[in-house]
Structure 1
Amino acid sequence: MSDLAAQKAAARKAAFARRKSAHGAGLVGRAGHLSQVLAGFRGVPLAGYMPIRTEINPLPAMEEASAHGPVGVPVITGEGQPLKFSRWEPGCKMKEGPFGAQIPAQDDFFEPEIVIVPLVAFDRKGGRLGYGGGYYDRTLQQLRARRATLAIGFAYAAQEAEVLPLEPTDQPLDMIVTEQGVLTLA
């Protein structure tokens, strides 16, 4: 294992522990600030995610946004491939996808202009540490090559790290929203 890979593994382990603790705190209104941000982009195609394990839940904000425009969730089509986004709406029929995340039972793919990105850790420079598969990095790179794409990291405030071990291929976040508010990036 390379030095950078070892640093990322250690950072992930510490961040998972912080996220688990924040998730277990029973905080209410977690997606309120995310809803406020998205209200400024009514009708813009957006992708969220179906939360797994201890991820912060964006579904209330996604439900509100779906009343104004298309909302999708990520679908993994293969290892090393960018994500695709299939249309989702509250109450639509779902099935289990890779890693236990729910995906729409019927594929209806589209390209979002806003992507709500789950994460393990973030820093105030817009750095993001994910699960290590590179899915969001490849996807954001591909989307940004075609058009301006806003990447919003959504996480518990406790997931913030002072410094993250990042690589040139790690795509930056444009904004970070937590249960406590919208963070100013350095």
Structure 2
Amino acid sequence: MTALSEIRSKKAELRRAALARRGTLSAEERIEASLDLAGRIGGLDIPPGTAVSAFWPIRDEIDPRPAMQILADRGHALCLPAIVDGELVFRRLDSETQLVQAGFGTVEPGPSAPVLSPEVMLVPLAAFDRRGHRIGYGKGYYDRAIAKLRRSGDPICIGIAFSIQEVEEVPFEDHDEPLRSIVTEGAVIHCPE
């Protein structure tokens, strides 16, 4: 087995274990944690008017929608990812946005929604460590999108998850994009840069 295949095998193992732990949370625990997460995100110093991307939760993910409401109430421009030609673009989300069914059991803003360049990104993940490394769902959408945005700016990437998804160490590959911080229901974790 090559070093790269060992890393990918370890990531798959960590992903399975973290998602299994996440799956043990009751609906009530997920709701309470999502509300606690919203309070922590609401306490972050995000400059007024900043464009913030979030995501529509799937399966048993932590729900960023309460945090999104807090950010919208403060005047932030919100956007959600949409898959276009195999890549993520971020389309505006407001009260006029028409959401359409997308892959992976989620929704996204339709093609008429304007594309934004988020300055702050709330990033979904399967597992994370305190160094700012994350394991996604294995398709690389967010790593590619973050890398593209970093070529023209420096988006603040914040992973959001349940604390139960933390692992000791995520194997890191060259294409993996690190997070600036991770917010869970219990903590704001600032990662080394």
Structure-1-length-normalised TM-score: 0.91
Selected match of 2:82 from 58, 75, 89: 75
Aligned: 1:120 with 2:126? yes
Deviations 1:116-167 (A, max 9, x none): 0000000000000000111110111111110121000000011100011221
How far the C-alpha of 1:66 sits from its partner, in A, is: 1.9
Q: 1:183 to 1:121 in 2, by over 3 A?
A: same
Provide the C-alpha distance between the structure 1 equivalents of 2:128 and 2:144, rounded to a whole number of angstroms.
Answer: 18
How far the C-alpha of 1:100 sits from its partner, in A, is: 1.5
How far the C-alpha of 1:26 sits from its partner, in A, is: 4.1
Q: 1:91 to 1:57 in 2, by over 3 A?
A: farther
Structure 1 counterpart of 2:103: 98
Provide the C-alpha distance between the structure 1 equivalents of 2:103 and 2:130, rounded to a whole number of angstroms.
Answer: 30
SS of the aligned residue for 1:146 comes to: coil
SS of the aligned residue for 2:108 comes to: strand
Aligned: 1:6 with 2:12? no
SS of the aligned residue for 2:188 comes to: strand
SS of the aligned residue for 2:43 comes to: helix
Aligned: 1:66 with 2:81? no
Structure 2 counterpart of 1:162: 168
Letter in 2 for 1:166: F
Structure 1 vs Structure 2 CA RMSD: 1.8
Deviates more, 1:23-32 or 1:127-136: 23-32
Q: 1:45 to 1:118 in 2, by over 3 A?
A: same
Structure-2-length-normalised TM-score: 0.87
Provide the C-alpha distance between the structure 2 equivalents of 1:184 and 1:66, rounded to a whole number of angstroms.
Answer: 24
Q: 1:90 to 1:177 in 2, by over 3 A?
A: farther
Count of residue pairs brought into register by the alignment: 183
Selected match of 2:151 from 145, 148, 152: 145
Letter in 2 for 1:143: L
How far the C-alpha of 1:89 sits from its partner, in A, is: 2.1
Q: 1:92 to 1:174 in 2, by over 3 A?
A: same
Provide the C-alpha distance between the structure 2 equivalents of 1:54 and 1:90, rounded to a whole number of angstroms.
Answer: 25
Identity across matched positions, percent: 37
Runs of 4+ residues deviating >6 angstroms: none
Q: Which runs of no fewer than 5 residues in structure 1 stay unpaired?
A: none
Letter in 1 for 2:15: R
